[in-house]
Amino acid sequence: MIIAIDGPSGAGKSTLGKMLARELDLLYLDTGAMYRAGALAVLRAGISFEDETGVAEAITAASIHLTGNSENLTVLLDGEDITAEIRTLEVAQAASRVSTNSAVRRRMVELQREMGERAERGCVLEGRDIGSVVFPNADVKFFLTAEPAARARRRFEEDKGKGRTSTFEQTLAEINERDERDVSRDDSPLQIPEGSEVIDTSELDLDEVFEQMLAVIRERKSAAA
């Protein structure tokens, strides 16, 4: 079973994707972490984001792996554990920039399909183009969204928990900038994939969204049986 979760940042994709993967015993793939790993390779190599060929070459040459399970996902870049390092604002912005590069996207989509297809019981993938490009025939597609202020508030609380000191206004501006780039890029922009279940999480708590998602999955399963 393939479950696709798309949506803008801060809509709850990662938390809910992990919860679903655990509940249903499926592999969990955070595809944003892969773009972040690629972005870190570019930053470390000192390549300019304007240099499209250089960016594509650096990312294609890099070995990017996700290991572990939904509780404890480890991101490896050329064998080095970069799980914590890719969670900075700098890497988030860099990931959004390298993700506009078509050669980079082709590479990532190829890796994601390989990993998803290899997963014996199936896979939960979350990102921006899962239901539209990576697995357009996914068994269930979700599009999670929320008001920008609600998404920024969650991100702000999360960052505070990790000891970071951006203000709420900075977090909101960062989220808006990234969303704008993600929805307006030419290649695979963030969009609501055909056939997806759209859930606005602004006013819902996590458990409510989780129950809604599980209900949709059960309904699809029984319709397919």
Residues found near ligand DC in the complex (CB under 6 A)? 9, 31-33, 35-36, 92, 95-96, 99, 127-129, 178, 182
- Asked if 40 and 94 count as a contact pair (C-beta separation under 8 A), the reply is yes
Minimum CB distance to ligand DC smaller for 117 or for 221: 117
Q: Provide, rounded to whole angstroms, the least separation between the CB of residue 219 and ligand DC.
A: 26
Minimum CB distance to ligand DC smaller for 160 or for 215: 160
Q: Provide, rounded to whole angstroms, the least separation between the CB of residue 126 and ligand DC.
A: 7
Q: Provide, rounded to whole angstroms, the least separation between the CB of residue 92 and ligand DC.
A: 6
CA separation, residue 135 to residues 54, 88, 99, 184 (Å):
28, 28, 18, 21
Minimum CB distance to ligand DC smaller for 116 or for 221: 116
Minimum CB distance to ligand DC smaller for 184 or for 202: 184
Q: Provide, rounded to whole angstroms, the least separation between the CB of residue 224 and ligand DC.
A: 25
Minimum CB distance to ligand DC smaller for 35 or for 142: 35
CA separation, residue 141 to residues 3, 19, 128, 148, 210 (Å):
6, 16, 12, 22, 14
Q: Computed over its alpha carbons, how large is the radius of gyration of the chain?
A: 17
Minimum CB distance to ligand DC smaller for 69 or for 184: 184
Q: Provide, rounded to whole angstroms, the least separation between the CB of residue 207 and ligand DC.
A: 22
Q: Provide, rounded to whole angstroms, the least separation between the CB of residue 155 and ligand DC.
A: 9
